[in-house]
């Protein structure tokens, strides 16, 4: 894996990525201590807050699109330099009282909110919610249609995703470092203007502007994965404007990058062990019928074979080596419904056909059949590397931390440790820091945690709920990444009641 700290809300079906954290970024000081009373927008921002959106057909039935202007640099909003923020909505279907807008964010950072809205939230959220809310989303600055961060070409990304993530010697280590440097340099060359201004704090400020432009007094919001950090950041900046906020697959903003990456490594191990237990019960588990330790060792041995000798994938330029295979496995761990697909892909790969695992890896990276990539991975790195100082100062730090990562996950630890170098060579210095987000004075906020979540460990949800002045923890005892809309009637009922009636779950509620 390369740019770790990347999560997904709905596994293989919808590439709604994301992880990252913390954040007191550039230009954030003037609102960081916002009171519980709403304050008007600063005079320099009023033209932005008072702009009118012109809605047009999106080309997707039922949806409308528009573009919002936001200042490139909130510290200097009068500079004349703006970013375009792409917005989409599906109006409330009725009947019943309209409750305003419900803004949704799928995670990432780097996930397209518009893509998520049109492919899932705007048509797949409960009918009662869609009846009373205008379903709205946006591509955060730097993402997809919103002044996107661009870096490597498709061919460059193909090379980048195949670089050995578990270097065995100095030459392989140098090649990995060179790949991170190449990515950083390409981002600076192609996107130097926006790189310093894609922080989570700036995206949260864009959300408040969007709230005002939509005509809503308060922000109603459902954020998944990294979207929970974005939502918590909003609440901390604008507590008096918090309406009904659901933070699903929550993150802990007090964790520095090293701890985040190591925690996530442990989360993927937890998810893999659930998969391994299930696999061992199947008639033909490609990894054997032993306990999770034995199954994990068999997968690790298979990765080593691929490291020495990749197998055919159907693409002569991209044989299935260890890096792509690892990415494919991890992609399937986000959602237990993908476990049968993973078993088949592993069986095929062990018999010399790596096409199934390659397809899973391509879904993770958002690579199209024509060899083009969405800007997911570029935006992911750009936001992550701005929001937190890097996990390591260089390869020596990774080497020292390897035992703790391998303890967290014998299968994935080494690769995820080396992937944590991704921000070390970033061309823009981090402006954020790990710190608690309290949102003092905000209305009740629902924080959702899944006990065996691979990408946002359950302890993060407990931590965030405890930090937020008005946080309420809702627990899903289950597998997969995030909980809302994934099959639990108990979870869905609790969240729907909160969104529609304003009634948060009882403290300590568990499903």
Catalytic residues: 225, 453, 481
The answer, yes or no, to whether the previous bond of 95 is cis (omega within 30 of 0) is yes
Please report, in angstroms and rounded to a whole number, the separation of the first and last CA atoms in the chain: 33
Which alpha helices (DSSP H) does 282-422 contain, by range? 292-308, 322-332, 339-350, 355-365, 376-387, 395-408, 413-419
231's CB contacts (< 8 A; 6+ apart) are 105, 221, 223, 245, 247, 445
Sign of the dihedral defined by the CA atoms of residues 396, 402, 404, 409, in that order: positive
Q: CA-CA distance, 107 to 8, in Å (whole number)?
A: 7
Gyration radius of the chain's alpha carbons: 22
Q: Are 391 and 264 in contact (CB under 8 A)?
A: no
Q: Which of 392, 389, 397, 395 is nearest to 428 (CA)?
A: 389
Q: CA-CA distance, 509 to 433, in Å (whole number)?
A: 31
Q: CA-CA distance, 405 to 127, in Å (whole number)?
A: 43
Within 10 angstroms of residue 59's Cβ, the number of other Cβ atoms is 8
Q: CA-CA distance, 491 to 481, in Å (whole number)?
A: 14
11: left (phi over 0), alpha (psi -120 to 50) or beta: left
Q: Are 460 and 250 in contact (CB under 8 A)?
A: yes
Strands 219-224 and 445-452: unpaired
Which letter does DSSP use for residue 3 in this model?
S
Give the E-state strand segments of 34-142 in sequence order: 56-57, 64-71, 82-90, 100-105, 133-138
Q: CA-CA distance, 418 to 433, in Å (whole number)?
A: 22
Q: CA-CA distance, 6 to 268, in Å (whole number)?
A: 12
Q: CA-CA distance, 15 to 365, in Å (whole number)?
A: 8
Q: Which of 245, 242, 248 is nearest to 216 (CA)?
A: 242
250's CB contacts (< 8 A; 6+ apart) are 228, 232, 447, 448, 449, 456, 460, 461, 464, 465
């Amino acid at each position: 894996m390369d740019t770790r700290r990347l999560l997904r809300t709905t596994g293989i079906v919808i590439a709604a990525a994301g992880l990252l954290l913390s954040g007191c970024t550039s230009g954030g000081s003037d609102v960081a201590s916002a009171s519980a009373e709403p304050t008007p927008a600063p005079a320099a921002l009023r033209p932005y807050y008072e702009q009118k959106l012109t809605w047009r057909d999106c080309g997707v039935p039922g949806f409308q699109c528009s573009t919002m202007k936001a200042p490139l640099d909130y510290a200097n909003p009068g500079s004349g330099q703006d970013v375009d923020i792409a917005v989409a909505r599906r109006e409330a279907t009725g009947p019943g009282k309209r409750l305003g807008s419900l803004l949704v964010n799928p995670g990432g950072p780097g996930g397209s909110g518009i893509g998520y809205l049109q492919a899932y939230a705007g048509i797949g959220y409960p009918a009662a919610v869609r009846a009373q809310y205008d379903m709205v989303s946006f591509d955060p600055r730097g993402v997809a249609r919103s002044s996107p961060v661009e870096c490597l070409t498709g061919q460059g990304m193909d090379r980048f995703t195949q670089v050995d993530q578990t270097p065995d010697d100095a030459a392989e280590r140098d090649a990995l470092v060179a790949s991170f440097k190449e990515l950083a340099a390409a981002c600076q060359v192609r996107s130097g203007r926006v790189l310093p201004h894609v922080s989570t704090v700036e995206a949260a400020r864009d959300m408040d502007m969007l709230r005002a432009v939509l005509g809503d007094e308060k922000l109603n919001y459902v954020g998944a994965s990294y979207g929970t950090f974005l939502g918590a950041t909003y609440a901390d900046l604008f507590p008096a404007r918090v309406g009904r906020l659901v933070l699903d697959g929550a993150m802990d903003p007090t964790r520095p990058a090293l701890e985040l990456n190591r925690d996530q490594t442990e989360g993927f191990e937890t998810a893999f062990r659930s998969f391994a237990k299930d696999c061992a019960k199947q008639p033909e588990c490609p990894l054997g019928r032993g306990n999770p330790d034995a199954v994990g060792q068999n997968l690790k041995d298979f990765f080593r074979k691929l490291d020495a000798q990749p197998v055919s994938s159907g693409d002569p330029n991209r044989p299935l080596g260890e890096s792509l295979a690892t990415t494919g496995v991890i992609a399937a761990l986000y959602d237990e419904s993908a476990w049968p697909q993973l078993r088949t892909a592993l069986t095929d790969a062990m018999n010399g056909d790596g096409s199934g695992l390659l397809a899973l890896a391509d879904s993770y990276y958002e690579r199209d059949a024509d060899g083009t990539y969405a800007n997911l991975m570029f935006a992911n790195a750009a936001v992550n590397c701005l929001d937190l100082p890097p996990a390591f100062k260089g390869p020596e730090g990774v080497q020292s931390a390897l035992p703790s990562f391998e303890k967290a996950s014998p299968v994935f630890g080494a690769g995820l440790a080396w992937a944590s170098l991704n921000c070390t060579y970033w061309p823009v210095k981090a402006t954020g820091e790990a710190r608690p987000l309290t949102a003092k004075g905000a209305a009740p906020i629902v924080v959702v945690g899944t006990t065996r979540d691979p990408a946002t460990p359950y302890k993060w949800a407990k931590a965030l709920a405890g930090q937020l002045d008005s946080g309420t923890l809702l627990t899903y005892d289950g597998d997969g990444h995030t909980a809302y809309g994934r099959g639990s009637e108990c979870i869905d009922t609790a969240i729907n009641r909160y969104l529609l009636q304003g009634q948060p779950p009882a403290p300590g509620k568990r499903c």
